[in-house]
Structure 1
């Protein structure tokens, strides 16, 4: 088991606070990512506040992760230690069912782990942005400012994505 630092909500009405979480040992098909940055948005707020159904607490919100491969399992062939990688909308879809074959991995018939959104539509948007040289406007924040960022999102006092600098969790 590996212990990592995080910020978590312990209840729907409580602010997020620093915590540690236990991560399972690396499996043969796993990639361990040293997270450098993690996005937060309305989806995270809705989930942390149980607005999309009952959440299981503690909740560590955040998605759209960017980092560097720190370790790979024995059967991993696509990535190597030191590769820059990102985790988008979901992980763990089967890739084989009818929905996955149609590019709708978020609707995987065998289950998936959502980090919000759809792979196909997200990729279309990323391709469009790359073709037209459109970049994202972000505000990088330390983890200690996550509650302030949430309040600014709720007040519509932001026109871009907040991104947590994971180095500030140490």
Structure 2
């Protein structure tokens, strides 16, 4: 076992604090990664504060991991020492169910193994990227192409793939009108990606305070949803709406913005249920759907796409001792647009 430095939560109410955690020995198919940067995702906050159900404490969160391979198992063929690599929201799956065989490990019928908050094959709780090292089976390690800096690449392992997957699945591209609800950690990547795919992109945000940013990131239009006229003006406009916010919204109002056969896809995960009137769907053959990250193959595709188009997250790099402050700033929407932890400050 390898003992490494980490930052972890010990309860739903206490601040995260420095600690040490154990990593398993490197097996034949494992990769040992020295973590350089880890993004802070709103999911980290939901999990450690018990908002999605009881957590197994202590827990070191973090599933936006970028680093360097420092050791590989005897049978590893996909990675080598010195490689620039990433780890996202999953570290394993059954590999045998119909979804895993299709490369959709995020929908593993047995339940994928989360980077933190799950139980690993050795029976121990998984611990995430708020730590100096991690051991992951080679099939769940991604290659970070040259052309993306590691710090800007880290959030792509969750925020990037969470938005890329629905944009790709629902056909965002030339001739399509795409709206992005919210311009935060997820939303800013959705704008960048949809623009790079060739879609006409609109940001729907509560106010216009981030309008300049939205247009700079690639949006063609920007509207404030606090203005009731927005919903009248844009009725029936969009082929696809990607909702990135983790708060309750009026789904019926947003569904009214879809064209016939349009889809509203939720990637934000509010802790409370959302309701929808069936007539909001029936009236325009509209769809309300959800999307969960992406499989390993699609995540690699996303990273390669980002490298080709010179895309990375907009980040603010912080030392580990600023994690608790960063959590409060995330909740206050006071970050543009993703905090990334410099893991060297844990050493």
TM-score (norm 2): 0.46
Displacement, 1:27? 1.0
Contact 1:34 1:69 (8 Å CA) reproduced: yes
In structure 1, runs of 5+ residues without a counterpart are: none
Q: Indicate the residue corresponding to 2:345 in structure 1.
A: 168
Q: Indicate the residue corresponding to 1:34 in structure 2.
A: 34
Query: Residues 53-88 of structure 1, C-alpha deviation per residue, up to 9 Å, x if partnerless?
Result: 110000101111111111011111111111111112
Q: Which has the higher contact order (CA 8 A, sep 6+)?
A: 1
Are 2:346 and 1:140 aligned?
A: no
Higher strand share: 1
In structure 2, runs of 5+ residues without a counterpart are: 116-157, 159-291
Query: Residues 11-33 of structure 1, C-alpha deviation per residue, up to 9 Å, x if partnerless?
Result: 00000000011112111111000
Contact 1:8 1:59 (8 Å CA) reproduced: yes
Q: Indicate the residue corresponding to 1:149 in structure 2.
A: 326
SS at match of 2:327: helix
Aligned residues: 170
Change (3 A) 1:28 1:111: farther
Residue correspondence of structure 1 range 1-170 to structure 2 within 5 A: 1-115=1-115, 117-120=292-295, 126=303, 129-130=306-307, 132-170=309-347
TM-score (norm 1): 0.90
Change (3 A) 1:40 1:119: same
What CA distance in whole angstroms lies between the structure 1 residues aligned with 2:89 and 2:62?
11
Contact 1:93 1:100 (8 Å CA) reproduced: yes
Displacement, 1:94? 3.6
For the pair shown, the structure with the greater C-alpha radius of gyration is 2
SS at match of 2:85: strand
Change (3 A) 1:78 1:106: same
SS at match of 2:340: strand
